[in-house]
């Protein structure tokens, strides 16, 4: 794995890269395969069910998931499109970029997914329930949407302390340059 990807880490709220809409993937090449390998590794290390490229600071339309924990269930979706939404379901979700926060989110129950896999082949799948929920959570990341953007006002109030802690940790790690002193007019 090139050094370019082996140092990638999962970024947390409020890193601005999580809010940025991602651009389509142009080519499924070796570099993309190495990125996916690192994302799968990080997802496993952090016991996640899914991980989207923006969560490792790469604003491209790609995510990985594994709903069972068995490596043969690894799934890679490139340039995903979700259609044919049916039904609605409310359930709790977490996010590797929002450690310590869980939120109930209403999602479509059934969806059709069209995407490209890591071999460049077309994917056309239909899922109901948990996998469809993971699809929607990860797809949201590609559009800069986090679960806190889908939380109700009450849930957001409850998470406020934890969000503030994450904001403070980010500010401590990314100090802002001092403001230029205003020149006093004579």
Catalytic residues: 138
Strand partners of residue 107: 89
Q: Which bin fits 77, alpha (ψ -120 to 50), beta or left (φ > 0)?
A: beta
Part of the chain binding Ni ion (CB under 5 A), chosen from 87-95, 107-115, 126-134, 171-179: 87-95
Q: How far is the CB of 18 from Ni ion (least distance, A)?
A: 9
CB 156 within 8 A of CB 148: yes
CB of 52 vs Ni ion, minimal distance in Å:
7
Q: How far is the CB of 13 from Ni ion (least distance, A)?
A: 10
Give me the residue whose beta carbon is nearest to Ni ion.
Answer: 95
Rounded to an integer, what distance in angstroms lies between the CA atom of residue 110 and that of residue 153? 26
- Shortest Cβ 95–Ni ion spacing (Å): 3
Residue among 40 and 95 whose Cβ is closer to Ni ion? 95
Q: How many residues bind Ni ion (CB under 5 A)?
A: 1
Residues numbered 90-119 forming contacts with Ni ion, rule: CB under 5 A: 95
56 binds Ni ion (CB under 5 A): no
For Ni ion, which is the closer residue by CB, 95 or 101?
Answer: 95
Question: Closer to Ni ion at the Cβ: 95 or 113?
Answer: 95
- Other beta carbons within 10 Å of 162: 16
Stretch near Ni ion under the rule CB under 5 A, chosen from 59-67, 77-85, 89-97, 153-161: 89-97
Return the beta strands (E) in the chain as ranges. 50-52, 62-65, 75-94, 102-116, 122-128
**Given the structure tokens 């450690």, which residue do they identify?**
99
Query: What is the rounded distance in angstroms from the CA atom of residue 90 to the CA atom of residue 166?
Result: 26
Distance CA 21, CA 96 (A): 18
Q: Pick the closer one to Ni ion by CB: 95 or 159.
A: 95
| Inter-residue contact 65 to 78 (CB < 8 Å) | no
Residues that bind Ni ion (CB under 5 A): 95
């Amino acid at each position: 794995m090139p050094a370019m990807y082996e140092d990638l880490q999962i970024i947390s709220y409020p890193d601005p890269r999580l809010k940025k809409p991602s651009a389509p993937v142009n080519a499924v090449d070796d570099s993309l395969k190495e990125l996916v390998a690192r994302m799968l590794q990080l997802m496993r290390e952090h016991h996640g069910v899914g991980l989207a490229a923006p969560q490792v600071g790469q604003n491209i339309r790609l995510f990985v998931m594994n709903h069972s924990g068995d490596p043969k269930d690894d799934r890679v979706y490139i340039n995903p499109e979700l259609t044919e939404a049916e039904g609605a379901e409310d359930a709790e979700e977490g996010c590797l970029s929002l450690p310590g926060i869980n939120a109930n989110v209403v999602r479509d129950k059934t969806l059709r997914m069209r995407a490209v896999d890591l071999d460049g082949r077309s994917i056309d799948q239909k899922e109901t329930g948990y996998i469809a929920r993971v699809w929607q959570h990860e797809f949201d990341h590609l559009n800069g949407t986090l679960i806190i953007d889908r939380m109700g006002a009450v849930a957001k109030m409850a998470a406020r302390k934890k969000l503030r802690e994450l904001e403070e940790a980010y500010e401590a790690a990314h100090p802002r340059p001092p403001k230029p002193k205003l020149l006093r007019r004579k």
